[in-house]
Chain A
Amino acid sequence: MKRSLRLVRRRLLASIPVLLIVITLTFVLLETAPGDAVDAYLLSIGGGDAAVADGLRRAYGLDQSLTARLWLYLTALARLDLGWSVAFERPVLALIAERLPNTLALMGSATALSFAIGSALGIVAGSKPESVKDRALSSISLILYSIPGFWLGLVLSLVLAVQLRWLPTSGIETIASGKTGLDRFIDIARHLVLPVSSLALIYTALFLRVMRAGMEEAWTLDFVLFARAKGLARSRIVLRHVARHAALPLITMLGLQAATMLGGSVVIESIFAIPGFGRLAHEAVAGRDAPLLMGIILVSAVLVIIVNLLVDLAQAALDPRIGASEASS
């Protein structure tokens, strides 16, 4: 396990400059965009004169230089202070802490579900390329993959929630139901069924295709031929030799998908009115809420780094060659 520790240490060290670059770049980008929170606020209360605007800007420290404010932001960040949301008039950290779990529940279950089903079906399809089973699954996955997520969400919602009334149409839980413990868990789960399935169906198709393609390639490799020459049971060849090899690109895919999923959640959260991270980002942009937007981007970057670290660890666990030999001196 020395190998994994070395990997974690190297990755964590590398993530520090990444985060600093993300912070500086977004800070500068947000600054160069015309208009600030004071403009947005004055617009929302029906306008105000220049003196009021200047006063507000002084109060929020917006009159200081860019580097001074960046330094201020970084020192506050070191104390885990993400700043004050102008639009919500609450600490950014508290807002994110409130919204993030909803998105993580949504994304986590959609990813886990699509990964499990997608890779299992990919193994079925790839266990015998060009067979009837393979062709059928590949066609279905292609159809699913070409459906836009928002459309699927709307159709599922229309049929299962509006027409049949089996499931709630929107929200993360029943408001003011007073439910606790298991009841509350079931309530949230019922609310998540539709958004999770809209996301998962599409990602299932993606994982299925990647797994199947990896298996098809693996069948041509010499060690699979050698496994056949050893006269092994077909199930062992498929699972232990072919699928295990095909799982490597699948896990890489999972890491890349994590970032896309955070972005994609905006649409699904809007359709199902889930108070999540994606919608928070949308609201921050609309309200010109720079501190909130900064916080969201920072937390997203940290999430992506964590997911990729986990992916690297999974890769290293699966593939003994990774990190085995350090680059030559």
Chain B
Amino acid sequence: MTLLSVENLRKHYSSGDRDVAAVDGVSFSLSAGETLGIAGASGSGKSTLARLILRLAEPEAGTIHFEGQNWLALQGAKLRGNRARMQMVFQDIHGAFHPTATVGSVLDDPLRIHRIATKKDRPGEIARLLDRVGLAAADAHRPVHQLSGGQRQRVAIARAISTRPSLIVLDEAVSALDVQVRNRILKLLVELQREQGISYLFISHDLAVLRAVSHRLAIMDTGRIVEYGRTTDMIDSPQSAAGHALVSAVPRLTLAGRPKNTV
């Protein structure tokens, strides 16, 4: 069942005197419970694509269908109400949360705004969400800025799943984390997907991360999708220059150390 289908999406930005095509005719589809990885170097347009799908920016052309609705036609209260169905997790940056916010207040907002739980039930629901992402119920009282990067990202995931969405857009969601923390977060995401049938649009420059979690993969280069298919096939034999570059850029553990006389 197709959850999200994107047809011929376009968005240009003008930077100084130049006109830059950030997203230049992108089409793909995503099924329920599936993860589509979007890979690309910086400037390939992958973050702009995320913003267009989340309706944080408006495309100049193209269509988006989400849960059977014309997603781009939704406006105002109708759009705000439907945002519960499509959530987001961005790269861990301190700016993503209000500096004085507590974990509890971050989770309380979506529950209240989207009327997921009554005032009486919200503390229980917050505790349940925290437990699900591997945090303690007592963490609800802690200010977000006191948390570690990995804990903050768990809070961001708890917030995203609080509205029981069918799709979460993840933009470089694990890029700023230490290796072990990153692995635990990825595992959590995969478990949540299996439990709740959530689809992910997983955006990253790191093919190793995408390979771990994506069923299918799209490679973006200068605003276009240049390769699109099953993750393992594409990584085993990349067809495009951008695909080759991404595959060969992944650092491999060389147990013997670096070869001598390199230059």
A residues bordering B, Cβ < 8 Å?
324-326, 328-329
Asked whether A328 lies within 8 Å of B16 as measured between CB atoms, the reply is no
Interface residues on B, range: under 10
Q: Is B14 an interface residue (CB 8 A)?
A: yes
Main secondary structure on chain B at its contact with chain A?
Answer: strand
CB distance from B193 to the nearest CB of A (A): 34
Q: List A contacts of B16 (CB < 8 A).
A: 324-326
The distance from the CB of A249 to the nearest CB of chain B, in whole angstroms, is 20
Residues of chain B within 8 A (CB-CB) of A325 are: 15-16
Chain B residue at smallest Cβ distance from A329? B14
A328: chain B residues within 8 A (beta carbon): 13-15
How many pairs of residues, A versus B, come closer than 8 Å at their CB atoms? 11
**6 A-B contact pairs sorted by A residue (CB < 8 Å):** A324-B16, A326-B16, A328-B13, A328-B14, A329-B12, A329-B13
Q: How far is the CA of A329 from the CA of B20 in the complex (A)?
A: 11
Q: Give the shortest distance, in Å, between B97 (CB) and chain A (any CB).
A: 22
Residues of A within 8 A of B15 (CB): 325, 328
> Hey, which chain A residues are within 8 Å of B14, CB to CB?
326, 328-329
Closest residue of B by beta carbon distance from A328: B13
Nearest 5 Cβ contacts at the A-B interface: A328-B13, A329-B14, A325-B15, A325-B16, A328-B14
Specify the chain A residue showing the minimal Cβ separation from B16. Answer: A325
Report the Cα distance A326→B16, complex, angstroms. 6
User: Which chain B residues lie closer than 8 Å to A324 at the CB level?
Assistant: 16
0/1 string, B1-20, CB within 8 A of A gives 1:
00000000000111110000
- Closest chain A residue to B22, Cβ basis: A328
Tell me which residues from 82 to 97 in chain B have a Cβ below 8 Å from any Cβ of chain A.
Answer: none
- B19 CB, nearest partner CB in chain A, Å: 8
Complex Cα gap A324–B16 (Å): 7
CA distance in complex: A325, B20 (Å):
12
Specify which chain A residues have a CB less than 8 angstroms from the CB of B12 in the assembled complex.
Answer: 329
Distance (Å) between the CB of A137 and the closest chain B CB?
A: 31
Q: Which residue of A lies closest to B19 (CB)?
A: A329
Select from chain B the residue with minimum beta-carbon distance to A3: B16
- Which residues in window 1-47 of B have CB below 8 A to A? 12-16
For residue A17, give the distance in angstroms from its CB to the closest CB of chain B.
Answer: 25
Q: A325-B15, A329-B12 are in contact. List 4 more A-B contacts (CB 8 A).
A: A325-B16, A328-B14, A328-B15, A329-B14
